[in-house]
Chain A
Amino acid sequence: MGRPAHPQAMAPSRPGSTRTAPPELPGQFPFAGRYRGYTLFAWTGVLYLLLGFLVLRVVWALGESPQAFDSVIASFRNPLYIVFHLLALVGVCFVAVRFFWLFPKAQPPRIGPAKPPPQPVILAMLYGLWIGVTLLLSAILAGVLF
């Protein structure tokens, strides 16, 4: 039949009076239907691990020597690196859009006496922060600012 879920999924602590058939996964999981979006979102975890270590490589070289740093920066001109960074940029934007979609509803209705702003306001703040910080950091890294 379908693919098995964990054999103990939703199992009671004591077995019932008759034999049960083992639980099965929903058929569309993990690569079909709406699960596709979720699975992609989870798989960006691998991308972020790679990116974290890549930035570390740059910062480590920056503390090493001018030659080491220039060498790392020069290596990014390799077409494979450019393609990777482009795909990574798409991935990061996908994470942002999906996270911003989910984030507002994860805010509790109240923390003590304080209420969060209405959801459209939270959304506007998130996108504003994303665009603003991106523009600022881009300007700094590109030599336009500071």
Chain B
Amino acid sequence: MQGLLLKLEPLIWLVFGQGIMLGTILLTGWLLVVGVAAPLGLVEPLGYERAHALGSNLIGRLVLFALIVLPLWKGAHHTRHISIDMGGGDRDAAVAPLLYALAGFGTLLAALAVIRL
């Protein structure tokens, strides 16, 4: 398991890096509107027709996929670091696969979700 983790680490780090950068950049607009402005009545909330039209074209699907997947991998990787920082260096070989599996599961669901649109 340790060997597999070492082999996959460059890829995980790349996705995690984009999770921080692109994920953060995309999440800001999403949270501003969908999370705060629309619920507070400052802007019209997304209606189904418009949301479906936006989300079901190719760019929309890619953006929505990125909005889900990039934060998941950033989250999993940083949560792994939290575990290590809290004294979990020795249990990392067990904790890391669980967290990455969670992100992987979310990635699969995200792919399904955008394909279904």
Contacts and interface: CB of A to CB of B under 8 A. Distances in A.
Nearest to B74: A48
A124 interface: no
A142 B44 contact: yes
Interface stretch (A13-21, A62-70, A108-116): A62-70
Contact of A142 (B37, B48, B90): B37
Contacts of A121: none
A46 B71 CA distance: 10
Contacts of B52: 62, 69
Q: How large is the interface on B (under 10, 10 to 19, 20 to 34, 35 or more residues)?
A: 35 or more
B38 A137 contact: no
Contact of B51 (A29, A53, A60, A62): A62
Q: Is the interface of B mostly helix, strand, loop or mixed?
A: helix
B114 interface: yes
Contacts of B50: 143
Contacts of B68: 52-53, 55-56, 59
A93 B40 CA distance: 20
Interface in A25-58: 29-30, 39, 41-53, 55-56, 58
Nearest to A137: B29
B24 A99 contact: yes
Interface residues of A, number: 57
B85 A55 contact: no
Contacts of A136: 29
Between A88, A99, A142, the greatest number of chain B beta carbons within 10 A of the residue's beta carbon is seen for: A142
Interface string A66-101: 100110010011000110111011001101100100
Enumerate the 9 nearest inter-chain pairs by beta-carbon distance, A residue then B residue, closest first: A45-B78, A85-B35, A137-B29, A49-B75, A63-B116, A48-B75, A52-B72, A141-B33, A52-B71
Interface of B: 19-21, 23-40, 43-52, 54-55, 63-64, 67-72, 74-82, 85-87, 89-90, 102-103, 106, 109-110, 113-114, 116-117
